[in-house]
Amino acid sequence: MEVFKTDILIIGSGIAGLSLALKLKDLGEIIILTKKRVFDTATILAQGGIACVVDEEDSFEFHIKDTLTAGDGLCEPKIVELVVKSAPERIKDLIEWGIEFDKDPVNPSKYHLTLEGGHSKKRILHIGDYTGRIIENKLIERVLENFNIQILENHLVLKLIPEKDSSLNGTPKRVVGVYALDFTHFKERVFLAKVIALCTGGAGKVYIYTSNPDTATGDGIALAYEVGCKIANLEFIQFHPTCLYHPKAKNFLISEALRGEGAVLLNAEGKPFMFKYDPIRKELAPRDVVTRAIDMELKVTGAECVYLDISKLPSDYIKRRFPYIYETCLKYGIDITTQPIPVVPAAHYLCGGILTNEWGQTDINNLFAIGECACTGLHGANRLASNSLLEAICFSHQASIKIKEMWHSLKETSYKVPPLQEFQIKEVKEEKVFISHNWDWIRKLMWDFVGIVRNLKMLQFAKNRIEFIKKELETYWSGFYLDLDTMELKNICTVAELIIISAMQRLESRGTHYLTDYPFKRKEFEKNTIISKF
């Protein structure tokens, strides 16, 4: 078995992992592991932009209030204040790395700002409707300029390696490395490091309908849970209200920025309906409100989708403001300058995750979690639009401060590395239809029974079925396989079970968690839902 040693090991190549690497580039050798290609991330799919107070009519107080309101009583106020007030500096970081946000065509000395659901002011910086793609590509360019940062593609991390004899109530004080599979050379590898950062993204692939990339299988959450880290608020799955509904389209998001520019939601009869659910904010209500409204319209009418209409705006403006959405929809025969867009909700963002402090640290001293895989306290029960990219760059900065502060002691630490025994890698000899069947089964089960609207009977049914699948996997597919689908299946099974358990513990409706048995908020549940293995 090959063993590699490095100073810092980062798992994941989205905005969180890449920006952390750039912040730590002068500290030592850095390896970034990514399970597919470097740009196969959720970051590259982010259309809307990044929230930041830059306009004189806006203020930190407004952004803080909007974030707290969307979070529905579960945000950590100190974390919200930290992120919002540090946003301008983090935007400067992005600009220094080569990212150029769109300027106002009328006043080029100012940025062009857009409005999204839940925001009281225009504060979304963007680059057309492909902000994430530009950010991802620029960060990759900057990382590749640094000889001491190495990116290894097609590496799936299987397990975190705890330090020998360092456990406290089952949870290790430190982790010393990871076991990984290299799918390029079809061999197992060990990576040892002084610091490990999980930047693995979300878990949208737990659901059959999602805006997430295929890589979003909750890997970091499963890894952290297995070594004893606390996992928080997994019941809060944010469903994006508007994904393109077309038989040939796969997971294509229709940005909230369209509604910010005045797009209107229509039912199957072509009539607006949001005024019935939120008379004041209508289409610009927070995502959980809009998503449940669409869900209700679909159930009442029996229709398969609703429609988003932006055609009242000038054709040239639509093409200039939303080139990516325009071109993609046109490919499917939909001209958004003249036709409404068929849309449905889809699993979009995980508001919970691995519980961290303000520095991105988990329960384990040298293990950090940054980005969507983490639960920082920023989002509470429902993420405010365009706060996700902001959270990632903010906490990569926070983590870099803590790592630099710890570095002297980390360098001097002599880790007790456990014996690195060869772990057996198996091949899937049975027909892969068993794996693909369980993939589809879990994802459809989660959509039907742990989706936008839930009840305890549905959750119990889902829990029973997931336990059965988990037992089947342990019986027939125990251990490690040189097969990405099999290993990802184990991760989505773990995360699905944690989501269900979390949802069953929250006997109220709050934010993105709507439980028909308890349709109102309850004061006694104004706290995090925390799960740990030990």
Residue 198 domain boundaries? 4-236+351-412
Residue 87 has pLDDT above 90, yes or no: yes
Written as one string, the DSSP assignment of 123-192 is -EE-STT-HHHHHHHHHHHHHHT-TTEEEE-SEEEEEEEEPTT-EETTEES-EEEEEEEETTTTEEEEEE
Give the model confidence (pLDDT) of 112-147 as tens digits: 999 998 999 999 999 998 999 999 999 999 999 999
The domain that holds 481 is classified in CATH as 1.20.58.100
Q: Does some domain include residue 271? A: yes
232 & 259 share domain: no
Give the catalytic positions in this structure.
287
Q: Does some domain include residue 418? A: no
Residue 446 has pLDDT above 80, yes or no: yes
Mean pLDDT, residues 430-455: 92
Give the model confidence (pLDDT) of 246-266 as tens digits: 988 877 889 888 999 999 999
Q: What is the pLDDT of residue 511?
A: 94
Q: Does some domain include residue 40? A: yes
173 & 284 share domain: no
> How many Å is the Cα radius of gyration of the chain?
22
Q: What is the pLDDT of residue 462?
A: 97
- Joined tokens for residue 304: 């398969």
Residue carrying the six token digits 């490919």: 331
261 & 363 share domain: no
- Quote the CA–CA distance of 341 and 529 in Å, as a whole number: 37
Q: What is the pLDDT of residue 520?
A: 96
Q: What is the pLDDT of residue 427?
A: 84
- Joined tokens for residue 247: 């038989």
Residue 424 has pLDDT above 90, yes or no: no
260 & 274 share domain: yes
Long-range contacts of residues 214-217, Cβ cutoff 8 Å, at least 24 apart: 214/36, 214/40, 215/35, 215/36, 215/40, 215/41, 215/42, 216/42, 217/488, 217/491, 217/492, 217/495
Which of the four pLDDT bands, split at 50, 70 and 90, describes residue 161?
very high
Q: What is the pLDDT of residue 508?
A: 98
Q: What is the pLDDT of residue 372?
A: 98
Residue 167 has pLDDT above 80, yes or no: no
Residue 505 has pLDDT above 80, yes or no: yes
Q: Does some domain include residue 423? A: no
273 & 399 share domain: no
Domain endpoint, select from 289, 313, 345:
345
Residue carrying the six token digits 């608020």: 233
Mean pLDDT, residues 282-294: 90
Give the Å distances, CA to CA, from 474 to 479, 486, 493, 508: 8, 12, 11, 33
212 & 315 share domain: no
| Entry pTM | 0.93
Q: What is the pLDDT of residue 510?
A: 97
Mean pLDDT, residues 27-35: 97
Question: Cβ atoms within 10 A of the Cβ of 49, count?
Answer: 32
CB 370 within 8 A of CB 20: yes
Q: What is the pLDDT of residue 460?
A: 98
- Quote the CA–CA distance of 336 and 330 in Å, as a whole number: 8
Q: Does some domain include residue 136? A: yes
Query: Which of 311, 239, 241 has its CA nearest to residue 270?
Result: 311
Give the model confidence (pLDDT) of 340-366 as tens digits: 999 999 999 999 999 999 999 999 999
State the total domains in the chain.
3
The domain that holds 259 is classified in CATH as 3.90.700.10
393 & 272 share domain: no
Q: What is the pLDDT of residue 287?
A: 83
Query: pLDDT higher for 494 or 249?
Result: 494
322 & 386 share domain: no
Q: Does some domain include residue 421? A: no
- Quote the CA–CA distance of 18 and 30 in Å, as a whole number: 11
Which of the four pLDDT bands, split at 50, 70 and 90, describes residue 444?
very high
376 & 467 share domain: no
Burial 121-141 (b: 16+ CB within 10 A, else e): bbbbbbbbbbbbbbbbbbbbe
Q: Does some domain include residue 363? A: yes
Domain endpoint, select from 326, 345, 364:
345
3-class DSSP assignment, residue 43: helix
140 & 256 share domain: no
H/E stretch holding 485 reads helix 484-505
Mean pLDDT, residues 178-202: 94
Q: Residue 178 contacts by C-beta under 8 Å, 6 or more apart in sequence?
A: 9, 11, 33, 157, 158, 159, 160, 161, 190, 191, 196, 223
Q: What is the pLDDT of residue 86?
A: 98
- Average pLDDT of the chain, as a whole number: 94
The domain that holds 146 is classified in CATH as 3.50.50.60
Give the Å distances, CA to CA, from 246 to 216, 243, 347, 372, 525: 22, 9, 16, 27, 39
Domain endpoint, select from 298, 318, 345:
345
Residue 474 has pLDDT above 80, yes or no: yes
54 & 177 share domain: yes
Which range has the worst mean pLDDT, 92-106, 291-305, 345-359?
291-305
276 & 151 share domain: no
H/E stretch holding 449 reads helix 433-449
Q: Are strands 306-309 and 341-350 parallel, antiparallel or unpaired?
A: antiparallel
Q: What is the pLDDT of residue 430?
A: 75
CB 15 within 8 A of CB 131: no
Q: Does some domain include residue 206? A: yes
Q: What is the pLDDT of residue 428?
A: 83
H/E stretch holding 342 reads strand 341-350
